[in-house]
Amino acid sequence: MTDPEATDSLIVLVLFATVLLRLLLVGLVVWALIPRRRTCPQCSEITSPVMAPLALRLLLLERRWCMSCGWDGVARKSPRAAGASRPASTIPTASLVLLTAALLFSACRPAEDRVARMFASSANWVDLTHSFDEHTIYWPTAEPFKLEMVSEGMTPGGYYYSAANFAAAEHGGTHIDAPVHFAKGRHTTDQIPVTQLIGAAVVVDVAAKVTSNPDYRVVAADLQEFEARHGRIADGTIVLFRTGWGSRWPERKAYLGTETTGAAAVPQLHFPGIDSTAARWLVAERKVDAIGIDTPSIDYGQSSTFDVHQILFAADIPAFENVANLDQLPETGAFVVALPMKIAGGTGGPLRIVAAIP
Ligand SMILES: [Zn+2]
Ligand SMILES: [Zn+2]
């Protein structure tokens, strides 16, 4: 086992050394290329530079020629003659500064560095997933999560071994809704392109409105308000809705509005969701890759027609439900990776969703 902190420190040290070396090299090249006024070692008159190979000039040697006495030679730079003014560079200093800056900037490759920083072990990742266990909240009519140990302990072979079986409904805990869940012929879980599940995310915060109304539905105006503050939601964005409901997890009564299970519990559900006006606006006016919410469903608890599921899924936009820890994300700038279990023909499935914060 290597110590990850030690590895991180080593990577930072190597990166720092590389940057220093680049700076040093660029500085050396620029310094060596600046023409200087040098005096003749024989008659002390001003000499003229003779074009010399770059390699020679990089070694701080300059070939000079003296017009007065005819001296011609490669000499180390001599101390400036007393009283001589600072030599004027034939290349304006500003150009050299610009050249140096351009060289340094081109060496930085910002896009590449951003990706490298994001996936470095030191990056700030937030887990947006609730753990799956006996407390995991499922739809009142769904089978809860089951974990059954098959083996656990020392074997006759002298080694430790543990293994379990698990079972659960697709739609419970932090999970994905595949478009086929409410739209015949649309993507099943395994058919959703991974490019739709990985990308830049925005967080639309409606927590203040939910405080006074647990049946609140996010309307199109909430999205337009968000855009007024942060700019247009770009194509391919993952739009996450923060209602603040996640803080109630895993208290079943507080989170679902009811503790009972079975079909009779469904009309008692109370939690915020999204309004059909917002779903229609997203489909018609923007090109988002996926959406997510920190409640049990993208349609609010009292819905009986599940309009938002129907509208978004008809457009092959999948949804993440029971997303955790949305309070830890900024409204813009997060990068989300949301990869569900790849259930062939699935209508949804358990989801591991995480976000990197730059
Ligand atoms: Zn679902
Ligand atoms: Zn759903």
Query: What does the alpha-carbon distance between residue 217 and residue 115 come to, in Å, rounded to a whole number?
Result: 36
Domain check: are 36 and 157 in the same one?
A: no
Count up the domains in the chain and report the number.
2
Domain check: are 111 and 152 in the same one?
A: no
pLDDT at position 279 is 98
pTM above 0.75, yes or no: no
Phi, psi of 317 (to 5 degrees): -105, 110
Domain check: are 107 and 198 in the same one?
A: no
181 CA → ligand 1 middle, Å:
8
3-state secondary structure the chain: CCCHHHHHHHHHHHHHHHHHHHHHHHHHHHHHHCCCCEECCCCCCEEEECCCCHHHHHCCEEEEEECCCCCEEEEECCCCCCCCCCCCCCCCHHHHHHHHHHHHHHHHCHHHHHHHHHHCCCCEEEECCCCCCCCCCECCCCCCCEEEEEEEEECCCCCEEEEEEEECCCCECCEEECHHHCCCCCCCHHHCCHHHCEEEEEEEECHHHHHCCCCCEECHHHHHHHHHHHCCCCCCCEEEEECCHHHHCCCHHHHHCCCCCCHHHHHHCCCCEECHHHHHHHHHHCCCCEEEECCCCCCCCCCCCCHHHHHHHHCCCCEEECCCCHHHCCCEEEEEEEEECCCCCCCEEEEEEEEEEC
Domain check: are 80 and 159 in the same one?
A: no
pLDDT at position 120 is 74
Question: Does the pLDDT at position 138 exceed 60?
Answer: yes
203 CA → ligand 1 middle, Å:
20
Residue 16 has a CB neighbour count (10 Å cut-off) of 10
Q: What residues contact residue 37 under an 8 Å CB cut-off, 6+ apart?
A: 46, 80, 84, 87, 88
Domain check: are 315 and 178 in the same one?
A: yes
Q: Is residue 25 part of a domain?
A: yes
Query: What does the alpha-carbon distance between residue 340 and residue 343 come to, in Å, rounded to a whole number?
Result: 8
Domain check: are 267 and 202 in the same one?
A: yes
339 CA → ligand 1 middle, Å:
15
Mean pLDDT over 113-130 rounds to 81
Longest dimension (CA), the chain: 110
334 CA → ligand 1 middle, Å:
23
Q: What is the pLDDT of residues 227-237, one digit of tens each?
A: 999 999 999 99
Range of the domain at 26: 4-121
Q: Is residue 140 part of a domain?
A: no
Give the residue carrying structure tokens 């990577």.
11
72: confidence class by pLDDT, cuts 50, 70, 90? confident
Question: Does the pLDDT at position 202 exceed 80?
Answer: yes
Domain check: are 115 and 193 in the same one?
A: no
Q: Is residue 81 part of a domain?
A: yes
118 CA → ligand 1 middle, Å:
29
Question: Does the pLDDT at position 284 exceed 50?
Answer: yes
Domain check: are 112 and 188 in the same one?
A: no
Query: What does the alpha-carbon distance between residue 147 and residue 70 come to, in Å, rounded to a whole number?
Result: 94
Q: Is residue 128 part of a domain?
A: no
Q: What is the pLDDT of residues 296-332, one digit of tens each?
A: 999 999 999 999 999 999 999 999 999 999 999 999 9
Question: Does the pLDDT at position 114 exceed 70?
Answer: no
- Sheet bearing 38-39, strands edge to edge: 38-39, 46-49, 61-66, 72-76
319 CA → ligand 1 middle, Å:
8
How much of the chain, in percent, has pLDDT values that exceed 90?
A: 65
Residue ranges near ligand 2 (ion) with Cβ within 5 Å: 177, 297
At CA 285, angle to CA 281 and CA 288, rounded to 5?
90
Domain check: are 257 and 346 in the same one?
A: yes
Lowest mean pLDDT among 43-47, 132-136, 211-215: 43-47
The residue ranking higher by pLDDT, 83 or 28, is: 28
Question: Does the pLDDT at position 94 exceed 80?
Answer: no
Mean pLDDT over 215-233 rounds to 98
Q: Is residue 222 part of a domain?
A: yes
Which ligand approaches the C-alpha of residue 297 most closely? 2
Domain check: are 110 and 170 in the same one?
A: no
Q: Is residue 279 part of a domain?
A: yes
pLDDT at position 25 is 84
> Is 349 in contact with 189 (CB distance < 8 Å)?
yes
Question: Does the pLDDT at position 126 exceed 80?
Answer: yes
Given 86, 106, 121, the domain boundary residue is 121
Domain check: are 203 and 318 in the same one?
A: yes
CATH label of the domain that carries residue 270: 3.50.30.50
82: confidence class by pLDDT, cuts 50, 70, 90? very low
**Mean residue pLDDT across the chain:** 86
pLDDT at position 89 is 47
Which ligand approaches the C-alpha of residue 299 most closely? 2
Question: Does the pLDDT at position 56 exceed 70?
Answer: no
Domain check: are 83 and 158 in the same one?
A: no
Give the residue carrying structure tokens 């024989």.
42
Q: Is residue 130 part of a domain?
A: no
Query: What does the alpha-carbon distance between residue 319 and residue 342 come to, in Å, rounded to a whole number?
Result: 15
Lowest mean pLDDT among 40-49, 126-135, 179-188, 240-249: 40-49
Q: Is residue 101 part of a domain?
A: yes
Q: What is the pLDDT of residues 239-281, one digit of tens each?
A: 999 999 999 999 999 999 999 999 999 999 999 999 999 999 9
